[in-house]
Amino acid sequence: MADTSLPLPPGSTIGILGGGQLGRMLSMAAARLGFRTHVYCPDPDSPAFQVTDRRTVAPYEDQAALADFAQAVDAVTYEFENIPSATAAALARTVRVEPSPSILDMTQDRYVEKSFISRNGLAVADFATVSGTAEIEAAAGRIGYPCILKTRRFGYDGKGQTRVERPADIPDAWSAIGGKPAILEAHVPFLREVSAIVARGSDGTLRSFDIAENRHENGILRSTTVPAGISAATAEAARAAGYRLAESLFYTGVVAVELFVVADGEDGERLLVNEIAPRVHNSGHWTEDACSISQFEMHMRAVANWPLPVPFRHSDVEMTNLLGNEVDNFAKIAALPDTRIHLYGKVGVRPGRKMGHINRLAPLRGR
Ligand code: AMP
């Protein structure tokens, strides 16, 4: 392996596992810095393939394809947390993989992840590991109703989770998640949802983007607003939570920490960590147009061991996802003032599918 403490020179190739829109935007940011990219994804229609120098279309378990990929790249990162962690670990034997495959492994299991977060002194909703209806009933008795049943593995965008209102819901909830090992979690009556997008360099440098406020619909992110409608103290606490997790993971790259803001006393606020995404994140897309550096460039700089600048937000911004056939309105949207449109070039529109996003800018009012 090359000396991984030196900055990767322009012209080097960065491999990206996963070919979705995040891989596409990472690849575009890498190109701006003079890097080449090589995207590895099993789906031949992956949107990132349209903007990469090289591609590998192969299953993540294809050892020969992985060996060729490792040979062809100078460093590897990933854009999707459900890449088999064994794939990332196999690559890491011959090439630098950031963030570390052990982090990928940890965040792939909600129980392990939540336990890690609370071990690090950060509050999470009450939770228990469950693997059958009797265990759910016992855990719900302790946690209280309503609660949420989530599969331990392979959940994203609200997939693999269901709400349990009362004991009679338990059998249906258990079959709704496919009878898989799960966690039962207290339903959090949150005031708001926010995310901390932070970056850590391999030398320990920490950077943070402004805290973003997120609105979900049916478990899918609908819009992100910056600044978030939270107190300065809560924003600082969210940033500190992001830093603490990035440091305790010896993380390299951009990490997103999703948090619930809950009421505390008369008009106080308290944070609970919901989850960690070991990658660039949908709630950081605003940085492309309202900030001195995007999350994508920040991530690629960290992976390449380049300096990490302090991000400076120069506009207020609302990011809105274009879901399903909303993308058909592209011409109307493209005519909106102060609005930047980003389309992912995806083949095939499905309801709820993320087809693009817009960033609507406004003059800076405050932080
Ligand atoms: P997740 O996949 O865990 O990020 O969940 C997706 C979304 O579902 C979250 O962003 C929340 O809007 C909602 N959600 C998840 N867990 C909870 C919870 N324990 N209490 C209330 N809402 C939740």
Nearest-atom number in ligand 1 for the CA of 187 is: 20
Nearest-atom number in ligand 1 for the CA of 148 is: 19
What pLDDT is attached to residue 224?
98
What pLDDT is attached to residue 281?
98
- The tens digit of pLDDT for each residue in 164-195 reads 999 999 999 999 999 999 999 999 999 999 99
Q: Is the CB of 274 under 6 A from ligand 1?
A: yes
Mean pLDDT (whole number) for 118-132: 97
Question: Which of the four pLDDT bands, split at 50, 70 and 90, describes residue 200?
Answer: very high
Percent of the chain whose predicted confidence (pLDDT) is above 90: 93
Mean pLDDT (whole number) for 128-145: 96
What pLDDT is attached to residue 219?
86
Separation of alpha carbons 87 and 76, rounded Å:
11
What pLDDT is attached to residue 156?
63
Q: Is the CB of 304 under 6 A from ligand 1?
A: no
Q: Is the CB of 193 under 6 A from ligand 1?
A: yes
Ligand 1 atom 1, closest CA: 158
Preceding peptide of 227 cis, ω within 30°: yes
Ligand 1: distance of its center to the CA of 177 in Å? 15
Q: Is the CB of 187 under 6 A from ligand 1?
A: yes
Q: Is the CB of 148 under 6 A from ligand 1?
A: yes
Q: Is the CB of 220 under 6 A from ligand 1?
A: no
Nearest-atom number in ligand 1 for the CA of 150 is: 3
Return the closest-CA partner of residue 319 out of 243, 226, 195, 200.
226
Residue 296 has pLDDT above 60, yes or no: yes
Taken in order 248, 253, 254, 256, the sign of the CA dihedral is negative
Mean pLDDT (whole number) for 302-330: 98
- The tens digit of pLDDT for each residue in 239-285 reads 999 999 999 999 999 999 999 999 998 889 999 999 999 999 999 99
Residue 154 has pLDDT above 90, yes or no: no
Nearest-atom number in ligand 1 for the CA of 125 is: 19
Mutate to test the pocket of ligand 1, among 274, 275, 281, 282 (most ligand atoms within 8 A of CB): 274
Ligand 1: distance of its center to the CA of 360 in Å? 25
Ligand 1 atom 9, closest CA: 219
Nearest-atom number in ligand 1 for the CA of 189 is: 21
Residues composing the chain: 367
Ligand 1: distance of its center to the CA of 148 in Å? 8
Q: Is the CB of 216 under 6 A from ligand 1?
A: yes
Nearest-atom number in ligand 1 for the CA of 155 is: 2
Return the closest-CA partner of residue 366 out of 227, 211, 230.
227
Question: Which of the four pLDDT bands, split at 50, 70 and 90, describes residue 4?
Answer: low
Residue 159 has pLDDT above 80, yes or no: no
- The tens digit of pLDDT for each residue in 60-108 reads 999 999 999 999 999 999 999 889 999 999 999 999 999 999 999 999 9
Other CB atoms within 10 Å distance of the CB of residue 243: 17
Inter-CA distances, 329 with 215, 224, 282, 341, 355, Å: 22, 20, 21, 11, 12
Residue 3 has pLDDT above 80, yes or no: no
Q: Is the CB of 210 under 6 A from ligand 1?
A: no
Separation of alpha carbons 279 and 252, rounded Å:
10
Q: Containing H/E element for 94? A: none
What pLDDT is attached to residue 2?
59
Q: What is the mean pLDDT of the chain?
A: 96
Residue 367 has pLDDT above 60, yes or no: no
CA neighbours within 13 Å on the CB side: how many for 334? 8
What pLDDT is attached to residue 265?
86
Residue 366 has pLDDT above 70, yes or no: no
Answer yes or no: pTM beyond 0.85: yes
Ligand 1: distance of its center to the CA of 184 in Å? 12
